[in-house]
Amino acid sequence: MALTLRAVIDAARNQSPFFHKSRGTPDKLLGDELSTYQNELIGKAVLRDKQFLSQTATIVLNAGAGDLAATAGAGSITGLPGTVVNNAPVPIVAPAGRLVQVGVTAADGATVIVAKRVVSSATSTSVTSSGAARSVNGDADRLLVIVQGAGAGQYRRIVSNTADTWVTSTGADGRTWTVLPDDSSMMAVVAPVYDADGAAMVLDAIPPLEDRPAYLVRLSSAGVPFIDYVAPLVASVDVGLELPAAAEVTGGKVFCVDPDDGSAPLTITTIGQRFNPPDWPAVYINGGQLFLCGDAGDWEGIASLALEYVPVAPAFTAPTDYFLVPDTAKTALVAFAAELLMRRTLGQPGTPFKMADVQSADAKVERAELTFLGRLGIGRRARISVIQPG
């Protein structure tokens, strides 16, 4: 996908000399309307082809006492689900939630501080690259990434650095290299980007339950009402996983702990059948949240879930943002934006457009939309199946 909001707006404005933004239609207004229209297109496209724009959210089953909120304190090696605020990870005290993903390449949005260079030597707690000429401790809190060779794919937070050596662990903090880099390795220093968009989630307990304490109002000896925090009445409620904004969840599968057992289909059932689903393992979705059916025994031997869904495109926040729909939708998007621009110039001094022109532009949008949706059918028909897809 390489279609930016800027490209669509420019193409739409190029349709007429009267479509300059100083005529009263700012980019933001077009972006807002195109956000809505893109989701309308996605909705129509999903009706034609469920696999259109399908994305996968993974859910890791990580049930174990060591990961519960009660034990994941400072100094503990266990953790909690999290979110991201101002590009910094923040823990969420809950038995189920999102995982934080880390982007370490420029393509992910990370800032590359030191481009990839050869590792001269490494220990379990540090990496040296001769001639790097870094300012002392200038790279602290950034990430050192092994991008090639021995240990590739690992990254560690930088504790401190000299001109050519980066310390990545104190040795006692559990952050030593899993695979030791050597002089065959290449490294880079990056300022990472964090994301917790729901593409990866975790369940720390099966089923995830949450205590909801509530309190009786007691009376003191003087007859004054007070809350007795020592004696709450506690109710347990199921905790759901908040799914990414999805137009539709289209399917899923489970992966077993034992790789030899492979994967199996995931049953997505209704809330009414949650105690007696058509097949196991099963989940149900309620209010945009995913809940597991059954108890721990029903999920034994399962390591993770993969959920297929069609996303709701987020609103544009900058002209450089990308469309989720493919480039084949450009004609429809441009026609839609041009129709909007034309409509907004009606009645302005000097504008040559009349309502009939707007109606003609409307028809053009419909034609372009049908062409885009028609192309989806070509791809769908190409998939050979003995069962008529839903």
Burial class (CB in 10 A: 0-12, 13-18, 19+), 33: middle
For residue 4, CA distances in Å to 10, 264, 316 come to: 10, 38, 10
- Under rule CB under 8 A, residue 317 binds other proteins: yes
Taking the least distance from each CB to other proteins, the nearer of 319 and 326 is 319
Burial class (CB in 10 A: 0-12, 13-18, 19+), 53: buried
Shortest distance in whole angstroms from residue 31 CB to other proteins: 7
Strand partners, 59: 201, 305
Check if the beta carbon of residue 50 is closer than 8 Å to that of residue 60.
no
- Under rule CB under 8 A, residue 131 binds other proteins: no
Q: Residue type for 173, please?
A: D
- Under rule CB under 8 A, residue 280 binds other proteins: no
CA torsion through residues 58, 62, 63, 68, sign = negative
- Under rule CB under 8 A, residue 142 binds other proteins: no
Check if the beta carbon of residue 91 is closer than 8 Å to that of residue 204.
no
Count residues binding other proteins (CB under 8 A).
18
Shortest distance in whole angstroms from residue 259 CB to other proteins: 47
First CA to last CA distance, the chain: 26
Q: How far is CA 309 from the centre of its chain?
A: 12
Taking the least distance from each CB to other proteins, the nearer of 143 and 341 is 341
Query: In 181-285, where does DSSP find H-type helix?
Result: none
Taking the least distance from each CB to other proteins, the nearer of 7 and 201 is 7
Taking the least distance from each CB to other proteins, the nearer of 12 and 57 is 12
Shortest distance in whole angstroms from residue 6 CB to other proteins: 10
CA distance 298 to 266: 12
Taking the least distance from each CB to other proteins, the nearer of 85 and 257 is 85
Q: How are beta strands 155-157 and 193-195 bridged, if at all?
A: unpaired
Shortest distance in whole angstroms from residue 313 CB to other proteins: 17
Shortest distance in whole angstroms from residue 145 CB to other proteins: 25
Taking the least distance from each CB to other proteins, the nearer of 26 and 213 is 26
Would you give the binding string for other proteins spanning residues 68-97, x where CB under 8 A is met?
Answer: ------------------------------
- Under rule CB under 8 A, residue 318 binds other proteins: yes
Would you give the binding string for other proteins spanning residues 9-38, x where CB under 8 A is met?
Answer: ----xx--xxxx-xx--xxxx-x-------
Check if the beta carbon of residue 360 is closer than 8 Å to that of residue 335.
no
For residue 318, CA distances in Å to 35, 41, 66, 122, 239 come to: 11, 20, 42, 42, 35
Shortest distance in whole angstroms from residue 24 CB to other proteins: 9
Q: CA 26, 329, 44 angle in degrees (round to 5)?
A: 100
CA distance 172 to 156: 14
- Under rule CB under 8 A, residue 347 binds other proteins: no
Q: Which listed range, 60-68, 109-117, 266-274, 313-321, lies at the site for other proteins (CB under 8 A)?
A: 313-321
Taking the least distance from each CB to other proteins, the nearer of 31 and 240 is 31
Shortest distance in whole angstroms from residue 13 CB to other proteins: 7
Shortest distance in whole angstroms from residue 17 CB to other proteins: 4
**What six digits make up the tokens of 130?**
């001769």
Taking the least distance from each CB to other proteins, the nearer of 92 and 315 is 315
- Under rule CB under 8 A, residue 350 binds other proteins: yes
Shortest distance in whole angstroms from residue 384 CB to other proteins: 45
Q: Which positions ≥6 away from 303 have C-beta within 8 Å?
A: 60, 61, 255, 256, 257
Residues interacting with other proteins, by CB under 8 A?
Answer: 13-14, 17-20, 22-23, 26-29, 31, 317-319, 349-350
